Structure 1
Amino acid sequence: MDLSLKKRLARLLMEKSYVAGEVVLTSGRKSDYYFDCKQTALHPEGSWLIGKLFLDMVDDPSIHGVGGMTLGADPLISAVTVVSYLEGRPLPGFIVRKASKGHGTNQYLEGLKNFQPGDRVAMLEDVVTTGGTLIKAIERVRDAGLTVATVLCVLDREEGGRDNLAAAGHTLKPIFTRRELLELAR
């Protein structure tokens, strides 16, 4: 992974996405900081940096595409699909809904016309705390007939998510752990 790009992203994440102060997370846990990755992922340079670093991490040529749970993964997926096209190794994307459509095809995944059953994919996530949301999304992806080959995130909060994903049979590969982010942003 290109360290200069990683440092640029770390500085941008600290400027746009890292907020010190007590908050309650989706997991119900209290934390001394909030990390709103969407602020950086929706910034032009941030989007490109995330897309480029994630694409570099998808180093398995058998991976056919990328996806993740809406809403946090939406800008990450778009960034990777655009950067992958520009770099000549196009990867389509899919989005996992929190609830099925309830009409039409009643599906959980959007973008499936770009995939075949059994295609190997990378799951993308902005922040991993316990990994619960990600594990649910992975189950929906499997139910749709795709194979999750790798799991990538922007930030691993180092609060059990990596272990929970490992127990479910997946290895988490973050761009940053919280410690790395704080060190590289200096």
Structure 2
Amino acid sequence: MNLDQLARAIYHTAHITGEFKLRSGVIADQYFDKYLFEAKPEILQSIAEHVASLLPEKYDFLAGLEMGGIPVATALSLHTKTNVLFVRKEAKQYGTCKLAEGGNVAGKELVIIEDVVTSGGAIMDAVTKLRAQGALISKVICVIDRQAGGRENLEKMGLEFTPLFTKSQLETAL
């Protein structure tokens, strides 16, 4: 799928209307249900192919955020043959008690992978916790930027933010 075809596929598969409370607390009348596009192998594979071109030249791990970033990061890992971490919202209180599963983050350069970004709150929380464990993080890649302040919030933390698509791009891809 080329980028235009992918934008149309994501929009037609995942764009829904109604009343939705976002993580940020904002009520939206439109929503991109990421699980609808992440559940379609042909769309997820195409996302991985296109996101691969956005990756920096050097990094140690892809870091998929719970829960929506994990399928994207996993598909990207399979496409690029790069190791992936699965980042929890909170460290487990049992077993290994890890925040990030799949490897040690101390001194490692991580690329944060997320599905949809609104305010960037979940990413900011994860980056703060991962940096406290010694992770080096400068790059965030997402599939959809809802254009609701996430870019600005992430850039304030010194993060380079690169979406595959903005909400506006998806809306005009029809």
Please tell me the TM-score bracket, short chain as reference: over 0.9
> What's 1:88 paired with?
none
TM-score, L = length of structure 1: 0.87
Answer yes or no: is 1:119 the counterpart of 2:116: no
Shift of 1:131: 0.6
Paired positions, count? 174
Note the 1:99-138 alignment, pairs <5 A.
Answer: 99-112=90-103, 117-138=106-127
CA contact (8 A) 1:98 1:108 kept: yes
Shift of 1:155: 0.8
Shift of 1:70: 0.7
> What's 1:7 paired with?
4
> What's 1:82 paired with?
78
CA contact (8 A) 2:6 2:43 kept: yes
Give the Cα–Cα distance (whole angstroms) in 2 for the partners of residues 84 and 32 of structure 1. 36
CA contact (8 A) 1:154 1:176 kept: yes
- 1:98 aligned to which of 89, 95, 117: 89
CA contact (8 A) 1:68 1:77 kept: yes
TM-score, L = length of structure 2: 0.93
SS in 2 for 1:122: strand
CA contact (8 A) 2:64 2:86 kept: yes
Stretches of structure 1 that go unaligned for 5 or more consecutive residues are: 86-90
- 2:36 aligned to which of 39, 44, 52: 39
Amino acid at match of 1:106: C
SS in 2 for 1:45: helix
> What's 2:64 paired with?
68
CA contact (8 A) 1:63 1:149 kept: no
> What's 1:181 paired with?
170
Over the aligned positions, Cα root-mean-square deviation in angstroms equals 1.5
Shift of 1:49: 1.0
Answer yes or no: is 1:25 the counterpart of 2:22: yes
Q: Deviations over 1:47-90 (max 9, x none)?
A: 111111111100x22112211321111101111001112xxxxx
Amino acid at match of 1:70: E
Structure 1 vs Structure 2: percent identity of aligned residues? 30
SS in 2 for 1:57: coil
Stretches of structure 2 that go unaligned for 5 or more consecutive residues are: none
